[in-house]
Structure 1
Amino acid sequence: MRLATSFTGARGVRYPAPDVARGFMLLFIALANVPFWTAVTHVSAPSDAVDTAWLWVRSLLIDSRAYPLFAMLFGFGLVTMVNRRIASGSASYLSSLPGAEDGREPTPQEEAWAREQATVDVRRLVRRRGLWMILFGAAHALLFSGDIIGPYGLVAVVFAGWITRKHWKRAVAFCVVVIAAGTTTFLNMGSFLASQGTTSATDAHQGTGASTDTVLSYVSDGLLAWGGSLVSALFFFMIVPAMFLGARLADTDLITHPERHRRVLAAVGLGGLGLGAAGGIGFAMWAAGGHLVAWTMPLHTLTGVAGACGWLALLSLYAGGPRPDGRLTGLRRLTSSVGRRSMTVYLSQTFLFAIIFMALPALTGIELHLGGARAAGVALAVWLTTVGLCAVLERGGHTGPFEALLRTAVARSERRRRPAAPPAPATPASPMSASSTYDLAR
Structure 2
Amino acid sequence: MRLITSFTGSRGVRYPAPDVARGFMLLLIALANVPSWVDVDLARSSTPPADTIDTVWLWVRTLFIDQRSYPLFAMLFGFGLMTMINRRIASGTRAYLQSLPGVEAGREPTPQEEAWAREQATVDARRLVRRRGLWMILFGAAHAMLFSQDIIGLYGLVAVIFAGWIARKHWKRAAVLSAVIIVANVVIIFIIGSFIGPIAHQDATGSTVTPVSYVFNGVTQWAQGMPIGLIISMVVPAMFLGVRLADTDLIAHPERHRRLLAVVGVGGLGLGALGGIAIAVRATGGPLIIWAISFDRVAGLLSACGWLALLALYAGGPREGGDLTGLRRLASNVGRRSMTAYLTQSFLFAAVFLALPALTGIELHLGEARVAGIAVAVWLMTVLLCTTLERSGHAGPFETLLRTAVARSERKRPHPTPPSPTANAIAAPAGVSE
- Note the 1:213-292 alignment, pairs <5 A: 213-292=209-288
| CA distance, structure 2, for counterparts of residue 304 and residue 429 of structure 1 | 56
Q: Structure 1 stretch 405-414 or stretch 180-189: which is displaced more?
A: 180-189
The equivalent residue for 2:406 is 410
Change (3 A) 1:205 1:89: farther
- Note the 1:306-325 alignment, pairs <5 A: 306-325=302-321
Cα deviations across residues 298-338 of structure 1 (Å, max 9, x unaligned)? 11111000000000000000000000111000000000010
| CA distance, structure 2, for counterparts of residue 204 and residue 6 of structure 1 | 50
The answer to whether the 8 A contact 2:110-2:425 is kept is no
State yes or no: 1:163 paired with 2:159.
Answer: no
The equivalent residue for 2:138 is 135
The equivalent residue for 2:196 is 193
| CA distance, structure 1, for counterparts of residue 263 and residue 92 of structure 2 | 38
The answer to whether the 8 A contact 2:141-2:153 is kept is yes
| CA distance, structure 2, for counterparts of residue 75 and residue 46 of structure 1 | 37
| CA distance, structure 2, for counterparts of residue 239 and residue 311 of structure 1 | 16
The equivalent residue for 1:393 is 389
Q: CA RMSD in A?
A: 2.2
Q: Quick one: which of 350, 357, 365 aligns to 2:361?
A: 365
| CA distance, structure 1, for counterparts of residue 84 and residue 165 of structure 2 | 14
The equivalent residue for 1:436 is none
State the secondary structure of the residue aligned to 2:320.
coil
Cα deviations across residues 165-215 of structure 1 (Å, max 9, x unaligned)? 000111111112211211112112323335x4x8xxxx469859x976211
The equivalent residue for 1:64 is 67
Per the TM alignment, residue 280 of structure 1 is displaced from its structure 2 partner at its CA by 0.3
Q: Kindly tell me the number of residue pairs found equivalent between the two proteins.
A: 420
The equivalent residue for 1:37 is 37
The equivalent residue for 1:83 is 86
Cα deviations across residues 325-356 of structure 1 (Å, max 9, x unaligned)? 11000000000010000000000000000000
Change (3 A) 1:211 1:380: farther
Cα deviations across residues 365-414 of structure 1 (Å, max 9, x unaligned)? 11111100000000000000000000100000000000000000000000
Amino acid at match of 1:289: G
Amino acid at match of 2:8: T
Amino acid at match of 2:89: I
Amino acid at match of 1:88: S
| CA distance, structure 2, for counterparts of residue 410 and residue 221 of structure 1 | 28
Amino acid at match of 2:383: V
TM-score by length of 1: 0.91
Per the TM alignment, residue 43 of structure 1 is displaced from its structure 2 partner at its CA by 10
Amino acid at match of 1:76: F
Amino acid at match of 1:160: A
Change (3 A) 1:175 1:211: farther
The answer to whether the 8 A contact 2:344-2:382 is kept is yes
Amino acid at match of 1:111: E
Change (3 A) 1:22 1:294: same
Per the TM alignment, residue 248 of structure 1 is displaced from its structure 2 partner at its CA by 0.2
| CA distance, structure 1, for counterparts of residue 194 and residue 210 of structure 2 | 34
State yes or no: 1:150 paired with 2:153.
Answer: yes
Amino acid at match of 1:243: M
Q: Structure 1 stretch 49-58 or stretch 414-423: which is displaced more?
A: 414-423
| CA distance, structure 1, for counterparts of residue 338 and residue 372 of structure 2 | 20
Amino acid at match of 1:185: I
Q: Structure 1 stretch 41-50 or stretch 421-430: which is displaced more?
A: 41-50
Cα deviations across residues 231-281 of structure 1 (Å, max 9, x unaligned)? 012222110000000000000000000000000000000000000000000
| CA distance, structure 2, for counterparts of residue 131 and residue 366 of structure 1 | 40
Per the TM alignment, residue 226 of structure 1 is displaced from its structure 2 partner at its CA by 0.4
State the secondary structure of the residue aligned to 1:411.
helix
Change (3 A) 1:40 1:408: farther
The answer to whether the 8 A contact 1:61-1:273 is kept is yes
The equivalent residue for 2:372 is 376
Change (3 A) 1:43 1:135: farther
| CA distance, structure 1, for counterparts of residue 179 and residue 371 of structure 2 | 37
The answer to whether the 8 A contact 1:76-1:248 is kept is yes
The equivalent residue for 1:99 is 102
Amino acid at match of 1:104: R
Cα deviations across residues 55-102 of structure 1 (Å, max 9, x unaligned)? 000000000000000000000000000000000000000011111111
Q: Structure 1 stretch 214-223 or stretch 318-327: which is displaced more?
A: 214-223
The answer to whether the 8 A contact 1:155-1:240 is kept is yes
| CA distance, structure 2, for counterparts of residue 35 and residue 400 of structure 1 | 26
| CA distance, structure 2, for counterparts of residue 193 and residue 211 of structure 1 | 22
The answer to whether the 8 A contact 1:211-1:217 is kept is no
| CA distance, structure 2, for counterparts of residue 106 and residue 283 of structure 1 | 60
| CA distance, structure 1, for counterparts of residue 138 and residue 262 of structure 2 | 39
The equivalent residue for 1:438 is none
Q: Structure 1 stretch 338-347 or stretch 181-190: which is displaced more?
A: 181-190
The equivalent residue for 1:328 is 324
Per the TM alignment, residue 46 of structure 1 is displaced from its structure 2 partner at its CA by 5.6
